[in-house]
Structure 1
């Protein structure tokens, strides 16, 4: 399977279980790996693959309009976005929430989903 990836993408959203977490948007770090049609580069045409900038912009725009309690729900939302808006075949979403716990550098989740 051919893949594109965006590693270390920053995005802001309101997220958290506790009220103090949802007081203002938090910056999250995302790693997104997306399965594209095999040999998508054979034709050297951007229309045969998923455009990195478009995927990044879509994720950021979507998160600005959303509110989440759990990182897991946020990861599912991003996976669904890649399937519905970009025709992805497979996706891995990793979300890191840095500095939220004392003496813990980062917490996060990682999911993999595919169209079957």
Structure 2
């Protein structure tokens, strides 16, 4: 399949970091996702029930992120991918997370991963 749904620059706040000053206040993460999703059915039906519901996706991720307390971006990323798979039946995805406040000498640092679920 070559269809995908993408999200660029989703702003999520969460408690994340290993240093004491990071453990008290939520930080902003910028999320880019590319989700394998067959768009043909929705393209033919023009019905939301056949599409990936962006509003539901965003609300699910935002609510989940606010409840989390990870030290590492890697752990946050793995859990986020599992959530997207479980809630939206996405089999393959690419995820990039930027942590703008991580290093003052640059715009952002982060990670990029790809996960496939069977």
CA deviation map 1:10-51 (0-9, x unaligned): 010000011111110001111111111352422222112211
Asked if the contact 1:37–1:89 (Cα under 8 Å) also holds between the matched residues in 2, the reply is no
| Residues 54-93 of structure 1: pairs in structure 2 closer than 5 A | 54-93=56-95
Structure 2 spans left out of the alignment, 5+ residues = none
In the comparison of the two structures, how many residue pairs are matched? 116
| SS of equivalent residue, structure 1 residue 60 | helix
Aligned residues of 1:79 and 1:113 also touching (Cα < 8 A): yes
Matches of residues 1-116 of structure 1 in structure 2 within 5 Å?
1-37=2-38, 39-40=40-41, 41-116=43-118
What TM-score, normalized by structure 2, do the two folds share? 0.91
The answer to whether the 8 Å contact 1:37/1:48 transfers is: no
Write 1 or 2 for the structure with the bigger share of strand: 1
